[in-house]
Homo-oligomer: A and B are copies of this chain.
Amino acid sequence: MMSAKFLERVRSFAREEIADKGNHFDGLPEMPTPELGALAAAGLANWWVPEQYGGAGVSLEDSVDVMSELAYADAGFAFSAFPTIIGSTMLRLYPNAPHSRRYLEELAGGGFCAVLASEQEAGSELGRTATSAVRVGDRLVVDGEKYFSTNADCASLLFVLARDEDGGFGMVLVPRDTSGIEIVKRWDMVGVRGSGTYQVALRRCAVAADSRLPGNGIRNLEVALNASRILIASIAIGIGRRIRDLAMDYAAGKQLKGAPLTENAVFAAKLGQIEMTIDVMRNQCRAAAAQVDAGFAAPDPTAVLYRAGALRSALAAKAYCGQAGWQLASVGSELFGGLGYTHDHPVQKLVRDVRHVSIVEGGEDVLRDLVYSRFVLPAGKRR
């Protein structure tokens, strides 16, 4: 369990190193940003890596609050700091795979890995993945083009979803310095611009034959996305808290109908609703995260988590926080009058940033469909 002290360290770091740098982060800064370096220097990077690998060992449940603090300061920074959890979760699933321990120990000290899964044609359907991994001699040769991958440029290790020769799918570990990897472009994203997301080509990248993780690659990714989706959802918590505090700051100096805005009933109702929404988002994220933590605490975590696949609560966390965060930001964007529609006020950035929660790692249609097919259609899995 995270000591309150660790969270306090994160909060201090965020306040001192991240906050009030909105323009910097909003400007698509070169990756990795100096602030990511500072996070590692402070011993706070990749905080979820287990203590047995030299990490801080913060539970996923408590990581919700860590992300909330980082996102409160800057959602783009937060979005650059956590995606390594996808790869590290897959390494934890297969601790005996070659190099798993070495990589995890490396990540404990900072550093990045990235996942390359989505493709332009396939859209949300990973089963249409065209990138291939073919055995050539004692090498595995990966070939294809991936559409959206966060941190792919600064990562030292890439996890590439590829079609096996037998038509199945595998997750292949490709060191970043492998020959044939080309960053096609950095996406000019609408929000969370303090992070870097890339289109990447893999042209006949040859890696060691044992670089494919055991199991079905799509399933492995699905398992790892539980953690990732929960932390993405947690970004909405931080943004919601920030909007609430900006509103209270604004209202403190504002009069309406001859009384302080803070005494206006409509304003109070909006803020009361925002506060409740924040509470529900946090409880949902923490509950979902506790399920992941429980899986890793089980006697045979790999079997338990692999069998479970995508967790209902993790899917619901991302969908709910995406919807609720957007609703909250929509209300928030009207709280500051005309000023809130200008770049002189930070709320406009928060509106853009929070949109990402609904979009990335499965839009709402995808999530609804997945929940339906996994948890509603088979009557036995309803609860």
Question: With A341-B359, A369-B268 as given contacts, are A262 and B377 in contact (CB-CB < 8 Å)?
Answer: yes
Q: List 12 A-B contacts (CB under 8 A).
A: A189-B343, A190-B348, A191-B341, A271-B376, A272-B370, A272-B372, A275-B371, A275-B382, A277-B316, A283-B313, A326-B330, A337-B359
- Which stretch in A88-96, A206-214, A216-224, A241-249 binds the other chain? A241-249
Q: Is A44 an interface residue (CB 8 A)?
A: no
Known: A282-B383, A283-B288. 10 other contacts (CB 8 A): A123-B254, A147-B338, A190-B342, A191-B341, A248-B379, A275-B371, A275-B375, A276-B315, A283-B313, A333-B359
Instruction: Count this chain's copies in the assembly.
Output: 4
A316 touching B279 by the CB < 8 A rule? yes
A269 touching B359 by the CB < 8 A rule? no
The residue that A344 contacts in the complex, of B125, B188, B365, with Cβ under 8 A, is: B188
Question: What size tier do the contact residues of chain A reach?
Answer: 35 or more
Nearest B-chain residue to A192, judged by Cβ: B341
Nearest B-chain residue to A269, judged by Cβ: B368
Chain A residues 244-293 with CB under 8 Å of chain B are 244-245, 248, 254, 256-257, 262, 264-266, 268-269, 271-280, 282-284, 286-288
B268 touching A269 by the CB < 8 A rule? no
Q: Is A358 an interface residue (CB 8 A)?
A: yes
State the majority secondary structure of interface residues on A: helix
Please report the C-alpha to C-alpha distance between residue A272 and residue B269 in the assembled complex, in whole angstroms: 16
Question: With A337-B124, A363-B334 as given contacts, are A275 and B372 in contact (CB-CB < 8 Å)?
Answer: yes
